[in-house]
Amino acid sequence: MQNTLEKRLVGELAFVCLLLALAAGIAVEAWGIAGFSGISSPGAFPLGISAILLLAGGRILFDTLRRPDSGAGNWLAAARQFCAQHFPRRILVFTVLAVAYLASIQWASFYISTFVFLLLSILYLRSGRPLAALLTSALLVGLIYLLFTLAFSVYLP
């Protein structure tokens, strides 16, 4: 049986380095809580978690460095391949809709923004069927209104 290593994915090495940097940041913050004065000190649990993250990240980095390069070519070709794999148009459009929704809550009310967001999201992600999208959005916003006003007695703006 031939033991061939899979090629390293585009962006995988950068992701592992980011994981290690975040784990190191968590370790620094955990140490800043109370150091490690004892097993029951306030920073002991986050420090332990960060140590596990650092060990796992180190192991992943070791395995990633052992695999051959993806062969994507120069950095521009690698960036294009990465974007094509991880940021398809559906994800980008939905992200823009979500950001616009969050920004519009300040200008319009919560209910109007939620209704429009749900309507546009359902129309785009389900490819049409405006009547079903309209009814679904109205039903969901109505349920949110009833839940928050009747069950929780919280009035949303």
pLDDT digits (tens, 9 = 90+) for 69-98: 777 677 788 788 888 888 889 999 999 999
Statement: residue 1 has pLDDT above 60:
no
DSSP 110: H
Band of pLDDT at residue 44, cut at 50, 70 and 90: confident
Q: Where are the alpha helices (DSSP H) in the chain?
A: 12-34, 44-66, 75-86, 89-107, 110-125, 130-146
Give the pLDDT score at 2.
47
Q: What percent of the chain has pLDDT over 70?
A: 94
Evaluate if residue 3 carries a pLDDT over 60.
no
Contacts (Cβ under 8 Å, ≥6 apart) of 114: 101, 140, 141, 144
What is the three-class DSSP state of 40?
coil
